[in-house]
Structure 1
Amino acid sequence: MLLSALLWVFTTTGGRQIFVKEVLGGAYDSQAEHFLRGNVDVDAEAIGHEAMIVNGEVRMYFGPFPALLRIPLNFVYPAGHGKWSRISGFCAGVIALFAFAGLVRTALCSSLLSSRARNWLGNACLIGFAFGSPLLLLLGNLSIYDEAIIWGLAFSLAALLFAFRSRLVEGSALTRALLGLSLCAGGALLSRVTFGAPFILIAPFLALKLQRENRIANLMALALPLCAALTFYVWLSYAKFGSLTGVNFDYYINPVHSEFAHKFGVFSPRRILNSFADYFSLRFPSLQREPPFLAADRHFYEHPSLYSNDFSEVYLSLPWCSGWLIFGAIMGITCLVRRKGADAFERGATVALFGQFLCILSYFLLAQRYAADLYPFLIFCLVIFLGSGGVALLRSRHVIIGLIALSVIVNSLATVSWLVNADQNVPPETRAAWEKLLGRRYSKSESEKS
């Protein structure tokens, strides 16, 4: 609860900025209104420079879940129209936080650690996830881009939690766990497809393990919500772009990205090694004398045939942002490779989530927010290590806690620096509040130039 309160303060810039117009956040409200009218369009002024023009109609490529969420919110409180991004994003952040806590708790219950050591390590991991991961960035800037990502991450972790629990329970509890998995996987699919797609592959591995007792009910609980979400996603893609597979960048009004995607493709395996080198480099932000003491910024990264931009927005690589998680994931992968008892679910989930991992590494843009797509795989491997690390976990728990402390400090300072100095999608009033907190003089004219 304390972490949730701290994240609320961070998200709302001290608790004073709740209903704020985030960049293009009103596009979800517009999409919701058009859904109620029976079409898939969006107002041009709402989607702005991210519009796609299909046969003269304006469309948006972002996942529909935040728009669907706007329907009841605007019905209950119409004055919040166009300003729901922070409440929506905070709810997703809390779901992600509690889902991660459940995963860690479930894993540690089968470890060799004492009860006290479990509490220390579990609480440290929770702090690490809250402040030593991209979650902090996503909550600090809930523009149209980040809101979809944070919901995808939240639903993905919740689906993983239900998947692990379904292997520990029986009877009606199993049915509820499978239903929760299916609903969350569907939510992930409708938020950001890269988060939901792995569960289409994971679900059959769970289905194969179902016992004869209540088999039909359990299969329906596992399949129906996810199949409904997949059907809606395919229908919506076809209604928007005339394609069953999703967005077509030929319709994008941004000529730079559109032409690049048409020529070199949105995803390409040729980018994997270069993207991995950027996301996992040891590059450290520049130091500065004034708060927040780190200067996070874009860096030159020109590969004309690989990336649409000649720069990368990965302002803090994962070894500095989440070194604790990388360490745990490496140990978890080692456990999976060495263990003879790894079952079909563990192997299938590893492959499916690693597919998502490779997918984002093959994308034609590099940005800190996209790193969130790497985390379901890393977290899954961490959970494997926490649950079956044995003596290795016993010996390395202090190393993990130390890495968490380092990641929390570096990621927090770098994220604040990025939000204040470099992020073009931070609202002026939010930037002004951060400037005041850091003891700087805020210039509105300079903010508009940036």
Structure 2
Amino acid sequence: MGLSATWVGAWLRWPRLKLAASVLVCYALVLIVPHFLPTTGPVSRTFNSMLDHLMHGRFDVDPAIVGKEGFARDGRVYAYWGPVPAILRLPIIILPQWRLINFTIPYCAVALFWMGAVKIWTVRFVLRNRPTVPRPLARAMYLVIALSGAQMCFLRFSIYQEVCLWAGLFSAVFVAAAIVAQHQGLGERERLVMASAAGAALLTRVSIGIGLIAAFGLLLFVEAVSNRAHLREQIRKSMRPLIVLAVAGIATAWVNYARWGDPLTFADYKYYLFNLKYPDRLARTAAYGLFNFVRIPFGIIYYFLPVWVLHGSDGQLLFEATRFRLIDAAELPPSSFLLTDPLLLALGGVALVRWLGQRRLGAAQGGAIAAGLAIPPLLMLTAISMCFRYRMDFYPLIEFLAFSGLAMIRQRDAMARPWLVSALAAVSVLSSVAVSVAYVAGKLGPGQLLIGRGVGQYYLSRLGLL
């Protein structure tokens, strides 16, 4: 009993012990769980193949594994996903036959665990530094972070999801460092963490990586302008972080050149093997490109007001002509940030309104970070495909604004009312659970091909209720 109490006390007192124990648990999860899981198709082993080829100095993957998700160029097949999820598989090469084992599900679980843990830590940091935050709101934030939004809606573990979850983890680390900088100042440690997270994201999911780099660059610009008298000190603090980003940029350019023959091309869709199944995509890409502002109205509908899944009086899906002209695929399930994340959005609105009314350095810093983090959502609103997992690109902005707004709430504010925060938290959790169930139950791919008899009938059928 005495020994147990000693260990419990050490656990509570030493954060590093908790960190080490968590790492060991995650490592055990990765090594043990795959042996009890069925193989879900060769594509799930794409990162195994990518790692195997990287260790031999090659950037292609096994065409039999990646299948139609590959890009055929000059006699080899490549994947467009960043190499970080493959590199993170280095510990598994100690296992016999590791190339044949599907590690996707445990790696998704590990990424999701750490992503949630970092966000919980960020909430705790804000509450420690702003003890005036009302307790009902604090409890609601913990509940929302744990059981809704990015931590609940993406539980359909797959190789597609894994990339987004790792990028979500890196962006969560970036946002945590940005929040620390808001409260304690932008020191060298915060800069180094932000730069490392942005570089890792760039080599994982480029859209999120670009947003983090832009946010970091804009923050450094604001800091330099506001502290011109200490510019030399600002440069000194930024040297190591900028070197980290430069290394990540060079590595990204190297990977791009090896895959596509162009250091600035992240994926060349004229080589995409899925074009054989959906030949209309090439014509659509030629007419409107991979990203186009003309898609923003439909993007807003898709991500915030998903009425596109409903049928009109003519029997066609609403906005079907617009979708067919501009969009390759609009993926199910229908969802809206207004339902899955209302508390975060409300707190984010508080942050924006108060920053606009201030002329302080903190407001300028927050606005700069938010402007950079707005790039990934803007890219998703203009993208040729609108997939459910792309919602992850919105969360760095949503959560940064929400954490910033949380620190501003006082007892007299409307957002401090217990009934209001409880209602918003309940809507967030219930909606996120419902969306998660629909995501797991449904099929991937173009949603318009699945709901010809109605979206309600489709999900009742998928859930075995019809």
Short-chain TM bin: 0.7 to 0.9
| Alignment CA distance shift 1:187-1:265 (3 Å) | same
CA distance in 2, matches of 1:381, 1:275: 21
What CA RMSD, in Å, does the superposition of the two structures yield over aligned residues?
3.3
The CA deviation at 1:205 is 4.1
* TM superposition score normalised by structure 2: 0.77
| Alignment CA distance shift 1:408-1:339 (3 Å) | same
Q: Does the Cα contact within 8 Å between 1:109 and 1:387 map onto a contact in 2?
A: no
Please list every run of 5 or more consecutive structure 1 residues that lacks an aligned counterpart in the other structure: 287-298, 426-439, 444-450
| Alignment CA distance shift 1:188-1:19 (3 Å) | farther
What SS does the corresponding residue of 1:53 show, helix, strand or coil? Answer: strand
Q: Does the Cα contact within 8 Å between 1:285 and 1:316 map onto a contact in 2?
A: no
- Matched residue count: 401
2:88 to 52, 62, 69: 69
Residues 14-413 of structure 1 correspond to what in structure 2 (within 5 A)?
Answer: 19-22=37-40, 24-75=43-94, 78-79=97-98, 81-111=100-130, 113=132, 117-118=134-135, 120-138=136-154, 140-169=155-184, 174-208=187-221, 209=223, 218-243=237-262, 244-255=264-275, 256=278, 257-281=281-305, 302=320, 303-309=323-329, 311-341=330-360, 342-390=362-410, 391-392=412-413, 395-396=416-417, 398-413=419-434
Counterpart amino acid of residue 346 in structure 2: F
| Alignment CA distance shift 1:75-1:259 (3 Å) | farther
Counterpart amino acid of residue 303 in structure 2: Y
Q: Residue deviations 1:141-166, cap 9 Å, x none?
A: 22121110111111011111112323
Q: Does the Cα contact within 8 Å between 1:159 and 1:181 map onto a contact in 2?
A: yes
CA distance in 2, matches of 1:245, 1:276: 27
Please list every run of 5 or more consecutive structure 2 residues that lacks an aligned counterpart in the other structure: 1-17, 225-229, 311-316, 447-460
* TM superposition score normalised by structure 1: 0.79
Q: Residue deviations 1:383-408, cap 9 Å, x none?
A: 22111234436534542332111221
Partner of 1:448: none
Q: Does the Cα contact within 8 Å between 1:18 and 1:87 map onto a contact in 2?
A: no
The CA deviation at 1:60 is 0.7
What SS does the corresponding residue of 2:72 show, helix, strand or coil? Answer: strand
CA distance in 2, matches of 1:166, 1:36: 38
CA distance in 1, matches of 2:308, 2:75: 46
CA distance in 2, matches of 1:397, 1:239: 55
Q: Does the Cα contact within 8 Å between 1:280 and 1:319 map onto a contact in 2?
A: yes
Indicate the larger mover: 372-381 or 252-261.
252-261
Q: Does the Cα contact within 8 Å between 1:186 and 1:196 map onto a contact in 2?
A: yes
Q: Does the Cα contact within 8 Å between 1:283 and 1:317 map onto a contact in 2?
A: no
| Alignment CA distance shift 1:251-1:79 (3 Å) | closer
Q: Does the Cα contact within 8 Å between 1:134 and 1:368 map onto a contact in 2?
A: no
Q: Does the Cα contact within 8 Å between 2:105 and 2:157 map onto a contact in 1?
A: yes
For the pair shown, the structure with the greater C-alpha radius of gyration is 2
What SS does the corresponding residue of 1:58 show, helix, strand or coil? Answer: strand
CA distance in 2, matches of 1:349, 1:411: 27
| Alignment CA distance shift 1:16-1:442 (3 Å) | farther
